[in-house]
Amino acid sequence: MGRRGRIAIVAVVLILVGFVFLRGPTPHITLKPETLYSIGIVNITNTMITSWIVVILMVAGVFLMTRRWELVPRGAQNVLEAILEAFYNLVTGIAGEKNGRRFFPVVATIFFFILFANWLSLTPVFNAIGLGQEEESGFVMKQVDLGPIPVTYTTFSGPGHWGGETIEEDDPQAAQKVEEEKEKGNFVGELKPFLRSVNTDLNTPLALAIISAIAVEFWGISALGFGTYGRKFFNVGGIVGGMRHLSFGQFGRGIIDFFVGFLEFISETVRLVSFTFRLFGNMFAGEVVILMFTFLFPLLFPLVFYGLEMFVGIIQAFIFATLTLVFGMMAVSHGGPHPEEAEATGHTPEAA
């Protein structure tokens, strides 16, 4: 038997051992982030804590890599400069030097925040360590005291309990089983993980989409002026000109321009929804896939999906940042009014 055959046999054995003996309880999957602590009306969720950690780690990493800034970069500084230069060249290659310098801070911040948050969520501490919340059903956890700190942990599976020890909510004897487990000193409830991917919380992709939209509108207004940019959405010049000159053709074109502007406004609003759910949907689905395959095959097999999620993480960050860049270019390159509209509103080249 060749080397590849032996590797394949070892891999299959590890997968089977994990499937039989190392599976934990069935994962509890929820859309809403878990609240760990409340301060008045403010709920501190696990995704909120993760976002703070992402920002702190990014700031600390940049500080450590650039604290000894040198004219000729080397080591970590060289890596950081190479990454930023490559991304800067990408932005300026699409938007040009002038617009690229304006767009780069926002586009780069969005890209690296999403990328780092997505990749950080693939570390083993996510969705595995947290607070136990007592319930009338759920995981059956062993409980021990490490000094003053009570610690609960779930047991692995085995031939007698394929999914770990759990008490289902629809079990008619659930209350009795819970009491029996409590008498044994066990803990019954759900795990509220300390850390969860920020992009599986709908609020984070929505916030990023709003930031992207605000940046795009700001770039458009600052480049074209409020009036010119506003006529992209509320274009009534053709209607006014047609009524003033009693021109049915100009009035008809004005109606079409107004309708096109209304569609532009709708597309700007729908963009928030598409940005939000594209990122949220992909990252939440990836988290569910990893949780389920880690539950089914704890050894070796989940590595395939971790690799896939690393690829998805960078692709989603790139798509979000690139679309922000493209929409920014569309905003600053909006053309001027039609000749009839310019005559009606007085914005002719001679008047300018």
Q: What is the mean pLDDT of residues 243-271?
A: 75
| Residues 61, 63, 64, 68, CA torsion sign | positive
- ∠ Cα 305 309 310 (to 5°): 120
> Does 278 have pLDDT greater than 90?
yes
What pTM value is reported for the model? 0.83
pLDDT value of position 210: 95
- What pairs with residue 44 in β-bridges? 37
In the structure, what pLDDT confidence band is assigned to residue 57 with cuts at 50, 70 and 90?
A: very high
Give CA separation, 240 vs 231, 245, 300, 342, in Å.
13, 9, 69, 11
- What pairs with residue 95 in β-bridges? none
pLDDT value of position 306: 92
In the structure, what pLDDT confidence band is assigned to residue 239 with cuts at 50, 70 and 90?
A: low
Q: What is the mean pLDDT of residues 194-207?
A: 94
pLDDT value of position 242: 67
Gyration radius of the chain over CA positions: 28
Of 55, 52, 53, 60, the residue nearest 76 (C-alpha): 60
Which letter does DSSP use for residue 336 in this model? -
CB 250 within 8 A of CB 270: no
Please provide the average confidence, as pLDDT, over all residues in the chain.
82
> Does 161 have pLDDT greater than 80?
no
pLDDT value of position 349: 35
Report which of residues 331 and 335 the model is more confident about: 331
In the structure, what pLDDT confidence band is assigned to residue 164 with cuts at 50, 70 and 90?
A: low
The structural domains of the chain, with segments of one domain joined by +, span: 27-128+198-352, 130-193
Cα 169 versus chain centre, distance? 32
pLDDT value of position 342: 43
Give CA separation, 348 vs 224, 257, 339, 351, in Å.
15, 18, 8, 5
> Does 350 have pLDDT greater than 50?
no
pLDDT tens sequence across 82-92: 999 999 999 99
Give CA separation, 286 vs 62, 103, 188, 209, 282, in Å.
28, 30, 28, 20, 6
pLDDT value of position 347: 44
In the structure, what pLDDT confidence band is assigned to residue 229 with cuts at 50, 70 and 90?
A: confident
pLDDT value of position 198: 95
> Does 348 have pLDDT greater than 70?
no
CB 345 within 8 A of CB 227: no
Task: In whole angstroms, give the CA distance from residue 174 to residue 15.
Answer: 32
Q: What is the mean pLDDT of residues 312-323?
A: 95
In the structure, what pLDDT confidence band is assigned to residue 167 with cuts at 50, 70 and 90?
A: confident
Task: In whole angstroms, give the CA distance from residue 258 to residue 271.
Answer: 20
- What pairs with residue 37 in β-bridges? 44
- ∠ Cα 280 281 282 (to 5°): 95
Of 341, 49, 15, the residue nearest 195 (C-alpha): 49
